[in-house]
Amino acid sequence: MRNKFLLCNIIFILSLIILLLNDHFLKLYFHNWFTGKLSDVVGIILLPFLLAFVFPKLRQNSVYLTALFFIFWKSSYSEKLIEIYNLVSPISIHRVVDYTDLLTLIFLFIPYYFIKNQQQLSKIEIRRASPIFILIPGLLIFMSTSPPRYYEYVPYNGNLIFNNSTFIIPKTKKELLDEFKKRNINVYKDTTRIIAVNKWRYFEAVSVNQKNLKNNKEIFKIADDSIKELILKEIDESNYYKIDKLKLDDQTIENIQFYISTADSGLGTSFNLKSMTIEKQLRENKVERKLRKLYNKLLEEEFKKF
């Protein structure tokens, strides 16, 4: 028989609220050691209660199962499992391999005490709460962890390199480029990136003289005109663009590199940010806050006005 007070108690609900706030607010604004470990601490407390409620027969072993799962989860062995899960699940999960997180296992004494001595739950129980209204949002909060960082900051030059930062603009590619022109924003093809991405194709314009492989004569015969024609064609067809400088409100960003293409839905244009330059030598928390202001609040809103 399930004991509803395994979920309907102050410790479980408070831990759930802390997990939600930390993963989706505190980590974004105050990314540091404390916020990084806080999610692990409350997760360690939550999971045994959750297991003991959902699987009553595992009640006495829920703490040990949590410890084993946490050790596996924090190891590199769980990477493949996470990749497979994220392919089929609408709610993606993420984690960073950091073995110092295992120190949080000491907090298992909290659920261990109350699960082993369930009569003590009366001291922290919330009688009028319904477990079903805690279980469902609890599972969603527990699974929906904070997203991984989608950028890399290079302190010495102020560059932000993005891994996956895309939003949809409700205009065609031509309309978008025309709008840039109307606003006197100089947008041009990012030839450096285009050539770097496609350089392997230049071998199509190179012939190899195999007879010279065993002597000191030149083995490559290069047709400059063919390579030039190939490069110009790639530049013309490519969707990689660059903006040297863009002022948004009181903020100025430089070297904005991006890729635009028709959205998968066929409606609008997909704008994929590749990199940009901000101030040099910023601390990590300031980078996060500046990025949120520039990208989430300024860049996205500005482009969506187009």
> Per residue in 127-142, pLDDT tens?
777 778 888 877 777 7
User: Which pLDDT belongs to residue 64?
Assistant: 93
Is residue 114's pLDDT more than 70? yes
Is residue 256's pLDDT more than 60? yes
Q: Which of 60-69, 75-84, 90-99, 127-136 has the highest mean pLDDT?
A: 60-69
As a whole number, the mean pLDDT across the chain is 79
Per-residue pLDDT tens over the stretch 158-187? 888 877 677 777 788 888 889 888 888 899
Residue 262 in tokens = 């028709």
Residue 123 in tokens = 């001291």
What does residue 270 show for φ and ψ, rounded to 5 degrees?
-85, 120
Is residue 288's pLDDT more than 70? no
Is residue 250's pLDDT more than 60? yes
- Percentage of residues in the chain with pLDDT exceeding 90? 13
Q: How confident is the model at residue 197 (pLDDT cuts 50, 70, 90)?
A: confident
User: Which pLDDT belongs to residue 90?
Assistant: 52
Distance from CA of residue 238 to its chain's centroid?
26
Is residue 249's pLDDT more than 60? yes
54-58, 149-153, 180-184: segment of lowest average pLDDT:
149-153
User: Which pLDDT belongs to residue 207?
Assistant: 72
Q: What is the mean pLDDT of residues 261-269?
A: 77
**Is residue 224 within 8 Å of residue 196, measured between CB atoms?**
no
**d(C-alpha 70, C-alpha 76), whole Å:** 12
Q: What is the mean pLDDT of residues 26-50?
A: 82
- Percentage of residues in the chain with pLDDT exceeding 70? 79
User: Which pLDDT belongs to residue 145?
Assistant: 61
Task: Assign 1 to helix, strand or coil.
Answer: coil
Q: Which of 74-88, 117-131, 209-223 has the highest mean pLDDT?
A: 117-131
Task: Assign 146 to helix, strand or coil.
Answer: coil
Beta bridge partners of 271: 167, 260
**d(C-alpha 81, C-alpha 64), whole Å:** 21
More confident residue, 256 or 88: 256
The pTM (predicted TM-score) of the whole model is 0.50
**d(C-alpha 58, C-alpha 161), whole Å:** 46
Q: What is the DSSP letter of 89?
A: -
User: Which pLDDT belongs to residue 105?
Assistant: 92
The position carrying tokens 């980078």 is 287
**Is residue 153 within 8 Å of residue 281, measured between CB atoms?**
no
